[in-house]
Every structure is written in structure tokens, then in C-alpha cells.
């Protein structure tokens, strides 16, 4: 499936609003997570390792969400009935998110799309897929989800010919990227000037 066939995937499109996070602010965030050129290199390597395993990764993540009603509710009707089409559409974007995560450098277009993702968790929840679900993804779960998204990826990175040290570097780069992204996604939740 090409990117243009992914429902609701609008990376690089004019409809995506400009990120309120400036390039200078983003650079400081990168410094805060100790981001380096080596991380970019190792994320690209991770992308090569993960490409043929994306469906397996999503099975693990969706299994985790499905095992917890309080997480599944974000893909369900207000009455708690899972919306299968919504889950399927988000799953396709989630797979592309893995690819995008592993494809630095993170430029202005990437930064703008992080803002779009942030809005889809809060201000624009449900709009992209035109569903009747709960109105917001609570920030506490977005932050807490950093751990399972990071911890579970390592087993997939180990499915390669890379030595342990290279796997560690790929995993560290993935962790830094996820922290960066979730930090950016928290922006719409913050009071003005608090972010």
C-alpha cells in the first residue's frame, strides 16, 4: 500500500497546519533527549529491520490496547463498543508512523505533521475518520504508552544480523524519537505559554 492509499494520512499536504513549535524550540528538545546524527543513522537502520515486521509489531500493540478496556475506549463508541473501521484505519496510519519515525531528518514538514497528530488526539479527535467516539485521548495514557511502544520494539530489532551494541543503539534512537514525538503531541494539552 502506498502512502496515498492510507486513509487520513495527510503528511506534507497543505491541509496540515503549521506547528506552533519553532525550529529553535525543537532543536532544544532534541538536545534535551541527547539526539545526535548517530541516532538518525540508527533509526534508518531500525526502519530497514522493521519494514517486513510492521504487521507483527501492530499485532503486539493492538493486542495490548485490546486487553485494556480503558485504552480500547479511545477507538470505541461513547457506549464502549469498538469501532472496527476506525481501528483498521488508525492501524494503517500507525504502520506508516513506524516508517516515518525511522525516516529522519525531522524537518519542518515532519514537525507540522506531529502537530496534526497531536490535534487528532485532542482538538480534532474523531474528525479525520468521521466517527462517534470519545472526544479526547487523555494525555496520561499518551505519556504512559511511551513505555510499551519502546519496550516491545526491541524484540523486533533483535530479528536482524546486527550485533547487540547496534541493536541497543537502534533501540535508544527509537526511544528518543518516541519521547520527542509524545512531547510534541502534548502541546495542545498545555495551557498557553506552559508548553
pLDDT tens figures, 34-90: 999 999 999 999 999 999 999 999 999 999 999 999 999 999 999 999 999 999 999
Q: Looking at the 3D structure of the chain, how many domains does it have?
A: 1
DSSP states of the chain: --GGGSTT--TT-TTSPPPSS-HHHHHHHHHHTT--HHHHHHHHHHHHHHGGGHHHHHHHHHHHHHT-HHHHGGGB-TTS-B-HHHHHHHHHHHHHHHHHHTS----HHHHHHHHHHHHHHTTTTTTTTT----S---HHHHHHTHHHHHHTHHHHHTSSS--HHHHHHHHHHHHHHHHHHHHHHTGGGSPTTT-
Is residue 8 in some structural domain? Answer: no
Is residue 15 in some structural domain? Answer: no
Is residue 7 in some structural domain? Answer: no
pLDDT digits (tens, 9 = 90+) for 92-131: 999 999 999 999 999 999 999 999 999 999 999 999 999 9
Q: Is the pLDDT of residue 1 over 70?
A: no
Domain holding 140: CATH number?
Answer: 1.10.490.10
Residue 160: give the domain boundaries.
Answer: 20-189
Is residue 6 in some structural domain? Answer: no
Is residue 2 in some structural domain? Answer: no
Is residue 4 in some structural domain? Answer: no
For the entire predicted model, the pTM comes to 0.96
Amino acid at each position: 500500500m502506498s502512502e496515498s492509499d492510507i486513509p487520513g494520512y495527510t503528511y506534507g499536504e497543505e491541509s496540515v497546519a503549521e506547528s506552533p513549535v519553532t525550529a529553535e524550540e525543537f532543536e532544544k528538545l532534541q538536545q534535551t533527549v541527547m539526539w545526535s546524527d548517530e541516532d538518525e543513522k540508527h533509526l534508518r537502520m531500525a526502519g530497514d529491520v522493521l519494514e517486513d515486521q510492521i504487521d507483527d509489531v501492530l499485532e503486539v500493540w493492538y493486542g495490548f490496547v485490546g486487553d485494556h478496556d480503558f485504552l480500547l475506549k479511545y477507538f470505541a463508541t461513547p457506549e464502549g463498543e469498538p469501532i472496527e473501521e476506525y481501528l483498521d484505519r488508525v492501524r494503517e496510519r500507525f504502520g506508516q508512523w513506524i516508517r516515518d519515525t525511522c525516516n529522519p531528518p525531522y524537518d519542518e514538514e515532519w514537525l507540522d505533521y506531529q502537530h496534526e497528530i497531536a490535534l487528532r488526539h485532542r482538538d480534532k479527535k474523531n474528525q479525520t475518520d468521521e466517527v462517534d467516539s470519545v472526544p479526547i485521548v487523555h494525555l496520561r495514557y499518551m505519556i504512559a504508552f511511551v513505555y510499551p511502544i519502546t519496550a516491545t520494539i526491541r524484540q523486533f530489532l533483535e530479528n536482524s544480523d546486527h550485533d547487540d551494541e547496534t541493536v541497543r543503539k537502534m533501540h535508544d534512537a527509537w526511544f528518543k524519537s518516541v519521547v520527542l514525538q509524545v512531547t510534541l503531541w502534548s502541546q495542545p494539552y498545555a495551557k498557553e505559554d506552559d508548553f
